[in-house]
Chains A and B, each alone.
Chain A
Amino acid sequence: MPVTERFFKSKDSERGSIEAGLTLIPTTAFFLLVLQIVISGGFQIAERVSLQNVVTRGALGDSQSAELFAAKNRVVSSESVSLPGGGELILASSEVSTPRVTNFLTGDPRMKVEAIAIRE
C-alpha cells in the first residue's frame, strides 16, 4: 500500500491535530512580540531622525517651527547649555507612543529619543 494511501486511510490520522494546533498560540505570541519590537524600533528611528532634523534646523536658522512626524502622545522637552568659547548646545528629548499590536502588552509602549545640535 502506498504511503499516501496508508496515510489517508489510517484511522489515527487526526489524532493530535488539536494539540498540534495549540502550538499556534505561543507561535502567534512570539510573532506579535517580534512585530511589536520591529514596529517600535521603526518608530524610534523615525522619531530620532525627525527630532534631529528639527533641532539642527532650529540651531542653524533659529527656526521655531516644529515639523515632527505624526505620532500621538508626544512629549518634547529641550534645554540649552552654553559652551566655552561661545555658542550653545541645544539638547532635546522626545517621548512618543508607538502602536500596540497585541494585548499581551499591558502598558502603553513608549520610545524615548534624544537629539543635540550646536548653535553658534
Chain B
Amino acid sequence: MDFRNHPLTAEFSFGERGSAISEFVLIATPLFLPALLFFNAMNNTAKEEMNTSMLARQAVRAFVTAPDLMTGHQRVKIILDQYAKLEGTRGVGGTAGTAGSGSLGDLENSGSLTSPTRYEFTYNIKCYAEKCLEPGSLVELELYRKIEPIDKIESSKDRKASAVARSYVDKWRDTP
C-alpha cells in the first residue's frame, strides 16, 4: 500500500531531506545520555558495595575482639566514623549505636549513625549464642549504607548498599 497516495496521508510530506545533525540531537542524544547516567550509577553502586563489604568485615572483627558489648559498639562506631572522615565527609553525629546487654539467642543490637548526608550507616549485630561475646560464638554484622541518588533524575531515594560479615569470637579469650 502506498501511503503517499492515501487520502489521509497525502498532506504530509514524505521527503527524506533533513538535517543529520538535528536528527542526531533529537534521537541519539536522548538515548546516549541515559546510557551515560546508567554507567555512572552502576560504577557508583559497585564502589559502594565494595566499600560496605570491606567495612562490614573490619567492623565485625573489631566487635568480636572487644572486651565487652559496650566497647564493641564503640569500636564499630569509631570505625564507621573514621572511614567517613577519611572519605572527606561527615559521618559523625546523630545517635550512637545502642549497646546491648546480655543477649538471648538471636537478639539483635542495632545502631545507626544518622547523618543528613548520604554517608548514613546502619548496622545490625546478631549473636548466635546466649552471651554475645562468649568464646567460640558466632557473630553476624549486617551493614547498610545509603547510596546517593542522582539529583532530579533518579527517582529512588532509598537505595542502600548492604553487606553481611560473620566472625567467631576467639575461643581462647577471657570470658567477658
Contact = CB atoms under 8 A, between A and B. Distances in A.
Given A19-B20, A83-B62, A85-B67, A116 B28 contact: no
Size class of the B contact interface (CB-based, 8 Å): 35 or more
A33 B86 CA distance: 29
Interface string B78-122: 110011001100000000000000000000000000000000000
A22 B87 contact: no
B21 A85 contact: no
Interface string A33-45: 1100110010011
B89 to A, nearest CB: 11
A16 interface: yes
Contacts of B10: none
List of 4 A-B pairs having minimum Cβ-Cβ separation, nearest first: A85-B71, A20-B20, A23-B24, A41-B43
A45 B49 CA distance: 11
B47 A22 contact: no
B39 A34 contact: yes
B46 A45 contact: yes
A116 B58 contact: yes
Interface of B: 17-21, 23-24, 28-29, 32, 35-36, 39-40, 43, 46-47, 50-51, 54-55, 58, 61-62, 65-68, 71-72, 74-75, 78-79, 82-83, 86-87
27 contacts: A19-B19, A23-B20, A23-B23, A26-B28, A26-B29, A30-B36, A37-B36, A37-B39, A37-B43, A41-B46, A44-B47, A81-B78, A84-B74, A84-B75, A85-B68, A85-B72, A86-B67, A89-B78, A89-B82, A91-B82, A114-B51, A114-B86, A116-B54, A116-B55, A116-B58, A116-B79, A118-B61
